[in-house]
């Protein structure tokens, strides 16, 4: 008898299994092929806008993703460096094989964690409660809680041109039987689609003519626990499609599964296939194509921007019309895949199914897409499964606390009809949810769950205190005109007449932190200042904006605190609009705050709902 | 809906000439009340749940706007469980709206329909009957008793706001795309072009905001006070204007001692006339009281007609009344001068012109013989620009809530213009973008937050 059984060793399942074991639970991870643990099905890269934020949050909670990419990354870049730190985001190219091997090793070395190969076809239940799983060969494993994270494998159907065949991703068989089993248990499923570009042989590329995109000179690690990364990095390369490319591709549309109606399910808008791009943006004469290395030990390159499910001959002819790829050889063809997922209104905030106790869903099967989103859901499902069997309060993050909170709330409250990807614009409190302060926001939780060591936690606290001290000192530190005016003059900033504090100076748009740095005292040999200066600069310069966001948070908190009883029947409330009724009945919001975020529920509906809530007890 | 700020609204359905209550709730309530109320006791010393007598003043000018009764309610025992004040006014529809605007200008926000109840609920206190009253209120919001013409304009309003909102979302989507899709090959909009677009949008909003005045005229009528020395023929003019012999007319000076009102409709606009007691040095308590009311009407009229007896001009006294009016009316042109009793004059050119000011119109009439009455009406209509505003904009803002939201939206846009000028990074400007869009959305009733991503994906070819 296991405490927690995790089905599927992808990015979600790996994090889930590692935290469950890390919290001291006897954990079993069953996956279809142990060679493909945490395998990157698509792009060999971690991070990027908002995704990078998720990785840092996973790290602060005690997850693995950040540490693994720090060890196996082969190119690192901090995106949006020209803007404020709120929207910086780390991104790295990974060595696909090393990444997977690294996670596999972590799992194998983890105490309390057993890994087995097998395909789960049935969830065993007892009175609407999960009690174990059964594999395709009839083996039964008993567990107190089950987390499923099947990725794109459930009834996966791969398309290239008009050919299609069952597969979980290229080269792997799909998972069959489990969806049907869950349907029988009353869980609804639907289908989504995604796709991937071809991989080409780097030896056949004319590198000379391509623009190079190197990594950052100084690498900023993902993990708060990684001191420093010093490593030789590889480059990516940039080229463009041409009118000729588009013409060739259009010539294959009569055999496109997307445009002949073979594929019916929706794909992600932010990750469109090249065919969608040329149809939807007819006037755009060229599209960017990035060539990204698949790893150090291989000559394979990932053709980013060329996701396609057109037939093979069109893929190769199209590619060869691209500058630098005239002689390219495709090693693996691009394809599209359709798969089952479980619309998320069926789960609770702890990712447990509403109707089957102790059964948790994590990763792509919740309607998301991306390794980071999957891993974020995985760590949350893992922690919550443990809390559930220990009869402890669920672990729910608020929208004001973490991108992870935004992710789960969006999925449950707003739902999604395309694979969901995180964007910073989805987070209304973006200025507070920064990649630089994920540790300050979340590490305390990780520490409480025993996933973050006391030492790491103390370091974070020390760093935070140092930052606060420096900020205060900038407000306290007075400088005379004589001291500061030369600095001001050198950057064309108007001079001051009387003594001012440094913070006042830093608030001027034209003044950078480096201009006033010399006025700050710090302990000898400490490099904290260097690390936190962007944060300090932002917190002083844009205090007004940050304060506004903080007061917005305060305002919404009251609404979140107003709870709605679980047994309310919305269909019986007369004055609510019928659209709102339907949505409320489906989502079953926990609070007035959540209800007001449901699309289709307007403020008038909320007022009526409030009145109804007040009347409810007297109706009974 | 937010619950941390301070809200205000007129909480009684406003009927003709009835008593109206302005309700304020939230943490700044007492501070705001302190500024606008003058009573025997300061707000901080006033006891909770006791009725006080006092004046409502304009904190900017110190001017008394109305005599009011008010009740202070400490959070502990108030309806919303927040600090509250209720101000009972008796100046009728126009005045109460004016008072509400003053309250809003002091930092309160106009309450949404049902919001007091919402707070009462949020803070753990609600009363069933009142809750139901709120439901009624929400319903009546949907069937606004607007005239057909106005209703059409209201439809136009929604479209115009949508257009403005659309433009803001468009600019916002460019700004957000730059953040979230740095790696993509998307066109970046330069700062000057953004500022230009924002300024244009702000201009459009300003026009709408300005139309509120005209819109209010359409919705609630134009108030026209008739003033002048005693016995100049004010009551006669009043009767001639409303086309009925409503008021007693006599050669006895000081006949009219109280304010009398009457209205007519003219091309869909309601004109409300107020006949007042003639002004002369105080004689007796009743008359004093009458003059007090005359002055109140002066405060609250949109247009003043100063009546002068052409046959008996007393320059000094006429000027005295005029000066009083001039003080109350920020725009000179809103004072019309009617030289009455021209039937007694042989040559109009002989009449001594008391006030010569290019902005002020002199109209020669005979109330008794009904000469020139239509000229007065034309001058009134012309003055309030209601027609012009309708022609220019096609939009009239008639609703104080809309007016308030538009003003807030425009403030947001102004902050954005400043932000762009100062090169504040996009991620900060997002706060002003989303606030502006939210305020506009509250007018049209759609507050969908997914608009933005939809826009980005439809505009830019995103996706590596
Ligand atoms: C073709 C393709 C294109 C993609 N394109 C993109 C993209 O462009 N951008 C992007 O962000 N993401 C993309 N993804 C998605 C990305 O790969 C996933 O989001 C991510 O891997 C999901 O992680 P996961 O842990 O949920 O599932 P996966 O990583 O898919 O892992 C699922 C694991 O579960 C195992 N499993 C499944 N069923 C069973 C079972 N019944 N019993 C035991 N084990 C089981 C599988 O063997 C697998 O190891 C793409 C995926 C594919 C396949
Ligand atoms: N000949 C003539 N007499 C007028 C005219 N208008 C008013 N009168 C007379 O002037 C006298 C006063 O008229 P009212 O209308 O009562 O004047 P008033 O300004 O209201 O006076 P008070 O209410 O006493 O201040 C009456 O005898 C009217 O008949 C006019 O146009 N021509
Ligand atoms: Mg009279």
DSSP for A230-260? ------EEEEE--HHHHHHHHTTGGG-TTTT
Q: Taking all residues of chain B, what is their mean pLDDT, rounded to a whole number? A: 81
DSSP β-bridge partners for residue A337: A158, A194
In a domain, A301, yes or no: yes
Which of A6-20, A405-419, B110-124 is the most confident on average? A6-20
Do B358 and B233 share a domain, yes or no? yes
In a domain, B366, yes or no: yes
Per-residue pLDDT tens digits for A397-430: 999 999 999 999 999 999 988 999 999 999 999 9
Higher pLDDT, A616 or B357: B357
Nearest-by-Cβ selection for B4 from A84, A270, A551: A551
What integer pLDDT is reported at residue A116 of this predicted model?
A: 98
CATH number of residue B416's parent domain: 1.20.120.430
Would you call A555 and B2 a contact, using CB atoms and an 8 Å cutoff?
yes
Angle of helix B115-122 relative to helix A603-619, nearest 10 degrees? 50
Which of B389, B418, B453 is the last residue before a domain boundary?
Answer: B389
Do A39 and A182 share a domain, yes or no? yes
What integer pLDDT is reported at residue B416 of this predicted model?
A: 97
In a domain, A216, yes or no: yes
In a domain, A620, yes or no: no
Nearest atom within ligand 1 for CA of residue A14? 25
What integer pLDDT is reported at residue A30 of this predicted model?
A: 98
CATH number of residue A13's parent domain: 3.50.50.60
Do B406 and B385 share a domain, yes or no? no
In a domain, A414, yes or no: yes
A506: enclosing H helix or E strand? helix A502-506
Per-residue pLDDT tens digits for B219-256: 677 899 999 999 999 999 999 999 888 888 988 888 88
Which of A415, A447, A479 is the last residue before a domain boundary?
Answer: A447
- A97 near A5, Cβ under 8 Å? no
Residue B350 binned pLDDT confidence (cut-offs 50, 70, 90): confident
In a domain, B463, yes or no: no
A183 touches chain B (CB under 8 A): no
DSSP β-bridge partners for residue B85: B24, B72
Which of A5-19, A487-501, A573-587 is the most confident on average? A5-19
Whether ligand 1 lies within 6 angstroms of the CB of A245 is answered as no
A543 touches chain B (CB under 8 A): no
Whether ligand 2 lies within 6 angstroms of the CB of B306 is answered as no
In a domain, A512, yes or no: yes
Closest by CA position to A453, among listed A461, A280, A529, B415? A461
Does the structure show a pLDDT above 90 at B189?
A: no
Does the structure show a pLDDT above 90 at B6?
A: yes
Per-residue pLDDT tens digits for A277-309: 999 888 899 999 999 999 999 999 999 999 999
Tell me which residue range forms the domain holding B309.
Answer: 219-389
Per-residue pLDDT tens digits for A247-284: 999 999 999 999 999 998 888 888 889 999 999 888 89
Do A149 and A246 share a domain, yes or no? no
Do A10 and A152 share a domain, yes or no? yes
> Could you tell me which residues come within 8 angstroms of residue B43 by beta carbon, excluding any fewer than 6 positions away?
B30, B33, B34, B37, B72, B85
Do A21 and A165 share a domain, yes or no? yes
Do B137 and B120 share a domain, yes or no? no
What integer pLDDT is reported at residue B150 of this predicted model?
A: 43
CATH number of residue B234's parent domain: 3.40.50.300
What integer pLDDT is reported at residue B449 of this predicted model?
A: 53
Q: Tokens for B82, please give them.
A: 């927040």
Do B173 and B77 share a domain, yes or no? no
In a domain, B204, yes or no: yes
Do A378 and A310 share a domain, yes or no? no
Q: Which of B10-19, B184-193, B329-338, B361-370 has the lowest mean pLDDT?
A: B10-19
Report which DSSP code applies to B229: B
Query: Helices (H), strands (E): how many in chain A?
Result: 20, 22
Residue from B79, B128, B134, B179 whose CB has the most chain A CBs within 10 Å, to mutate: B179
Q: Taking residues A463-470, what's their average pLDDT? A: 89
What residue owns the CA closest to ligand 1's atom 24?
A151
CATH number of residue A603's parent domain: 1.10.150.570
CATH number of residue A316's parent domain: 2.40.30.260
How do beta strands A89-94 and A140-148 pair? unpaired
Question: If you search the block for the tokens 């609510």, which residue do you land on?
Answer: A576
A:8-67 residues touching chain B, CB 8 A cutoff: 43, 48-50
Do A440 and A458 share a domain, yes or no? no
Do A318 and A350 share a domain, yes or no? no
Do B299 and B367 share a domain, yes or no? yes
Q: Provide, as residue numbers in chain A, all residues whose Cβ is less than 8 Å from the Cβ of B450.
A: 414, 599
Closest by CA position to A255, among listed A318, A303, A201? A318
d(CA A284, CA A254): 22
What integer pLDDT is reported at residue A93 of this predicted model?
A: 97
Does the structure show a pLDDT above 90 at A566?
A: no
Total tally of structural domains belonging to chain B: 3
Does the structure show a pLDDT above 50 at A234?
A: yes
Question: If you search the block for the tokens 């308590």, which residue do you land on?
Answer: B285
Q: Taking residues A582-607, what's their average pLDDT? A: 86
Do B190 and B225 share a domain, yes or no? no
Do A68 and A176 share a domain, yes or no? yes
Do B305 and B377 share a domain, yes or no? yes
What integer pLDDT is reported at residue B113 of this predicted model?
A: 67
C-alpha count within 13 angstroms, C-beta hemisphere, residue B328: 24
What integer pLDDT is reported at residue B151 of this predicted model?
A: 45
Does the structure show a pLDDT above 50 at B129?
A: no
- What is this structure's pTM? 0.79
Would you call A430 and B430 a contact, using CB atoms and an 8 Å cutoff?
yes
Whether ligand 1 lies within 6 angstroms of the CB of A151 is answered as yes
Does the structure show a pLDDT above 60 at B2?
A: no
- A64 near A15, Cβ under 8 Å? yes
In a domain, B462, yes or no: no
What integer pLDDT is reported at residue A600 of this predicted model?
A: 81
Do B308 and B285 share a domain, yes or no? yes
Do A509 and A605 share a domain, yes or no? no
Q: Tokens for A413, please give them.
A: 């409250």
What integer pLDDT is reported at residue B134 of this predicted model?
A: 43
Spell out where A327-417 has E strands.
Answer: 330-332, 335-341, 359-361
Dihedral through CA B234, CA B239, CA B242, CA B244, nearest 10?
170
Q: Taking all residues of chain A, what is their mean pLDDT, rounded to a whole number? A: 93
Do A179 and A293 share a domain, yes or no? no
CA distance B188 to chain A (A): 14
Q: Which of A119-133, A152-166, A368-382, B96-110 has the lowest mean pLDDT?
A: B96-110
Do A490 and A585 share a domain, yes or no? no
Do B110 and B139 share a domain, yes or no? no
What integer pLDDT is reported at residue B146 of this predicted model?
A: 34
Per-residue pLDDT tens digits for B362-397: 999 999 999 999 999 999 988 776 555 555 556 667
Do A366 and A510 share a domain, yes or no? no
Strand order in the sheet with B109-110: B37-39, B51-57, B64-73, B84-89, B20-25, B7-10, B109-110
Residue B3 binned pLDDT confidence (cut-offs 50, 70, 90): low
Q: Taking residues B124-151, what's their average pLDDT? A: 39
What integer pLDDT is reported at residue B131 of this predicted model?
A: 41
Q: Which of A113-122, A313-322, B39-48, B372-381 has the lowest mean pLDDT?
A: B39-48
In a domain, A413, yes or no: yes
Whether ligand 1 lies within 6 angstroms of the CB of A155 is answered as no
- A576 near A607, Cβ under 8 Å? no
Q: Tokens for B104, please give them.
A: 């809003």
Strand order in the sheet with A300-304: A211-213, A236-240, A288-293, A300-304, A199-201, A330-332
Would you call B180 and A614 a contact, using CB atoms and an 8 Å cutoff?
no
In a domain, B2, yes or no: no
Residue from A87, A242, A258, A424 whose CB has the most chain B CBs within 10 Å, to mutate: A87
In a domain, A556, yes or no: no
Tell me which residue range forms the domain holding A607.
Answer: 561-615
Q: Provide, as residue numbers in chain A, all residues whose Cβ is less than 8 Å from the Cβ of B7.
A: none
Total tally of structural domains belonging to chain A: 4
**Phi and psi for A248 in degrees, rounded to 5?**
-60, -45
Would you call A611 and B434 a contact, using CB atoms and an 8 Å cutoff?
no
Do B314 and B278 share a domain, yes or no? yes
Per-residue pLDDT tens digits for A314-364: 999 999 999 999 999 999 999 999 999 999 999 999 999 999 999 999 999
Spell out where A86-189 has E strands.
Answer: 89-94, 113-117, 120-125, 130-135, 140-148, 157-160, 163-166
């Amino acid at each position: 008898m296991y405490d927690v059984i995790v089905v599927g060793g992808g990015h979600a399942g790996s994090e889930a299994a590692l935290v469950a074991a890390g919290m001291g639970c006897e954990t079993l991870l069953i996956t279809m092929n142990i060679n493909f643990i945490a395998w990157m099905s698509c792009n060999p890269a971690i991070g990027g806008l908002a995704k990078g934020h998720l990785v840092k949050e996973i790290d602060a909670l005690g997850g693995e993703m950040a540490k693994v990419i720090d060890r196996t990354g082969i190119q690192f870049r901090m995106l949006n460096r020209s803007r404020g730190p709120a929207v910086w985001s780390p991104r790295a190219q990974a060595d696909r094989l090393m990444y997977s091997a690294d996670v596999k090793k972590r799992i194998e070395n983890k105490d309390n964690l057993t890994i087995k190969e097998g395909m789960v076809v049935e969830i065993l239940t007892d009175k609407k409660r999960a009690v174990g799983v059964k594999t395709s060969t009839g083996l039964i494993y008993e567990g107190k809680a089950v987390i499923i994270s099947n990725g794109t494998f459930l009834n996966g159907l791969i398309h290239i041109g008009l050919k299609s065949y069952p597969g979980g991703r290229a080269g792997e068989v799909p998972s069959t039987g489990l969806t049907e089993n869950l349907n029988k248990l009353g869980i609804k499923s639907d289908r989504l689609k995604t796709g991937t570009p071809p991989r080409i042989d780097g030896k056949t590329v004319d590198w000379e003519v391509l623009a190079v995109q190197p990594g950052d000179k100084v690498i900023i690690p993902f993990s708060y626990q990684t001191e420093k990364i010093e490593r030789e990095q590889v480059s990516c390369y940039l080229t463009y499609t041409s009118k000729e490319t588009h013409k060739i591709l259009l010539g294959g549309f009569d055999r496109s599964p997307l445009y002949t109606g073979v594929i019916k399910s929706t794909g992600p808008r932010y990750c469109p296939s090249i065919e969608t791009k040329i149809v939807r943006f007819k006037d755009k004469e060229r599209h960017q194509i990035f060539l990204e290395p698949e790893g150090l030990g291989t000559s394979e390159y990932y053709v980013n921007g060329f996701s396609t499910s057109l037939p093979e001959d069109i893929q190769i002819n199209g590619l060869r019309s691209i500058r630098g790829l005239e002689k390219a050889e495709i090693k693996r063809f691009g394809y599209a895949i359709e798969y089952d997922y479980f619309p998320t209104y069926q789960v609770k905030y702890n990712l447990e199914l509403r109707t089957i106790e102790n059964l948790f869903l994590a990763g792509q099967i919740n309607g998301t897409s991306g390794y980071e989103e999957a891993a974020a859901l995985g760590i949350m499902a893992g922690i919550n499964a443990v809390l559930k069997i220990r009869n402890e309060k669920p672990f729910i993050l608020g929208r004001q606390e973490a991108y992870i909170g935004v992710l789960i709330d969006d999925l449950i409250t707003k739902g999604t009809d395309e694979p969901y990807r995180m964007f910073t614009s989805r987070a209304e409190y973006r200025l507070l949810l920064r990649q630089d302060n994920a540790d300050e926001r979340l590490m305390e939780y990780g520490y409480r769950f025993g996933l973050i060591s006391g030492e790491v936690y103390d370091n974070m606290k020390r760093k935070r205190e140092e930052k606060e001290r420096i900020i205060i000192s900038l407000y306290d530190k007075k400088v005379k005109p004589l001291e500061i005016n030369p600095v001001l003059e050198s950057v064309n900033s108007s001079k001051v007449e009387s003594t001012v504090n440094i913070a006042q100076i830093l608030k001027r748009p034209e003044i950078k932190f480096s201009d006033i740095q010399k006025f700050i005292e710090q302990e000898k040999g400490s490099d904290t200042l260097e690390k936190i200066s962007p944060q300090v600069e932002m917190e002083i310069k844009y205090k007004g904006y940050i304060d506004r966001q903080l007061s917005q948070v305060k305002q919404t908190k009251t609404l979140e605190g107003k709870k709605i009883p679980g047994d309310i029947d919305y269909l019986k409330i007369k004055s609510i609009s019928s659209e709102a009724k339907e949505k409320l009945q489906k989502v079953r919001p926990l609070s007035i705050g959540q209800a007001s975020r449901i699309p289709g529920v307007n403020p008038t509906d909320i007022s009526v709902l409030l009145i109804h809530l007040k009347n409810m007890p007297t109706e009974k | 809906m937010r619950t941390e700020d301070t809200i205000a609204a007129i909480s009684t359905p406003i009927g003709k000439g009835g008593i109206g209550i302005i309700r304020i709730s939230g943490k700044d309530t007492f501070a705001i009340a302190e500024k606008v109320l003058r009573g025997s006791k300061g707000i901080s010393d006033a006891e909770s749940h006791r009725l006080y007598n006092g004046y409502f003043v304009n904190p900017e000018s110190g001017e008394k706007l109305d005599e009011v009764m008010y009740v202070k309610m400490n959070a502990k025992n108030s309806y919303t469980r927040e600090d509250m004040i209720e101000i009972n006014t008796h100046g009728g529809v126009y005045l109460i709206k004016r008072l509400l605007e003053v309250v809003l200008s002091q930092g309160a926000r106009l309450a949404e329909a049902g919001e007091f109840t919402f707070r009462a609920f949020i803070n753990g206190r609600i009363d069933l009957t009142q809750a139901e009253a709120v439901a009624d209120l929400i319903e009546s919001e949907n069937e606004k008793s607007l005239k057909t013409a106005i209703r059409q304009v209201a439809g136009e309003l929604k479209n115009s706001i949508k257009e403005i909102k659309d433009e803001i979302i468009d600019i916002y989507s460019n700004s957000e795309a730059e953040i979230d899709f740095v790696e993509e090959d998307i066109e970046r909009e330069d700062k000057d072009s953004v500022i230009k677009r924002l300024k244009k949008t702000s201009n459009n909003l300003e026009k709408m905001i300005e139309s509120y005045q005209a819109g209010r005229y359409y919705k609630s009528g134009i108030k026209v006070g008739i003033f002048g020395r005693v016995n100049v023929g004010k009551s006669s003019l009043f009767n001639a204007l409303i086309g009925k012999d409503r008021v007693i007319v006599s050669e006895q000076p000081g006949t009219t001692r109280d304010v009398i009102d009457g209205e007519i409709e003219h091309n869909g606009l309601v004109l409300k006339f107020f006949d007042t007691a003639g002004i002369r040095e105080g004689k007796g308590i009743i008359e004093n009281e009458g003059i007090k009311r005359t002055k109140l009407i002066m405060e609250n009229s949109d247009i003043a007609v100063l009546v002068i007896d052409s046959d008996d001009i007393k320059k000094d006294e006429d000027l005295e009344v005029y000066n009083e009016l001039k003080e109350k009316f920020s725009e000179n042109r809103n004072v019309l001068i009617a030289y009455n009793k021209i039937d007694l004059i042989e040559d109009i050119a002989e009449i001594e012109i008391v006030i010569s000011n290019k902005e002020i119109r002199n109209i020669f009439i005979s109330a008794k013989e009904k000469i020139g009455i239509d000229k007065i009406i034309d001058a009134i209509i012309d003055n309030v620009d209601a027609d012009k505003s309708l022609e220019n904009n096609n939009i009239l803002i008639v609703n104080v809530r809309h007016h308030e939201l538009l003003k807030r939206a425009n403030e947001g846009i102004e902050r954005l213009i400043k932000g762009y000028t100062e090169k504040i990074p996009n991620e900060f400007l997002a706060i002003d973008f989303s606030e502006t869009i939210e305020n506009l959305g509250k007018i049209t009733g759609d507050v969908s937050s997914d608009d933005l991503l939809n826009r980005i994906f439809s505009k830019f070819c995103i996706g590596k």
